[in-house]
Amino acid sequence: MDAFWNFISLLLGLDLEPKHLTFAQISLRGVIVMIFTLIIIRLGDKRSLSKKSAFDAALLIILASVLARAINGSAAFFPTLGGSAVVVGLHRLMAFASYKSDGFRRLVKGKPSEIVRNGQLIERNMSRDHVAEEDIREDLRLDGEEELAQVKVARLECSGDISFIKKEK
């Protein structure tokens, strides 16, 4: 068994300082990290790649930062992989808690903010959320509508998207 671990250590440069890692060792680390990342993301939560909430973005930023250290050798390889799996597990646990608890969901993900009601801008909410009128009009055009007067309700969603409920025609 020692021979196997010595071979793995040599192959990945586990005992080397980062500056002494070869191109092949860094490349192999990158391949392993890529495969490992795909596995833990698939086991974790598909939504982290599809949503644009701060909660999900935090996972991706932390995961990228931690796993980069495994590739460049600035942190121990296998413990870094383990730590990233724990981060994905924590994200999954927090997503489950958000599903079960509305209060926890609001704490972690925030809540939508109404920015238009019956075609009228709600300036106070727009100011608080730093949303310009032109941002609303742009999203409205992208939604296939020109007139703000045709909007019953518009909300700035937790993801940063603006959703529209149009008036009955």
What confidence tens digit (pLDDT) does each residue in 129-161 have? 999 999 999 999 999 988 999 999 999 998 888
Reported in sequence order, the residue ranges of 5-161 that DSSP labels E, i.e. its strands, are: 113-117, 120-121, 151-156
CA 77: distance to chain centroid?
23
Identify the pLDDT of residue 49: 57
Does this model's pTM top 0.75? My answer is no
Q: What is the 3-state secondary structure (H, E, C) of 60-87?
A: HHHHHHHHHHHHHCCCCHHHHHHHHHHH
- Do 88 and 41 meet the contact criterion of CB atoms below 8 Å apart? yes
State residue 45's pLDDT score.
62
Over residues 90-94, mean pLDDT: 90
- Asked if 158 and 110 touch (Cβ cutoff 8 Å), the reply is yes
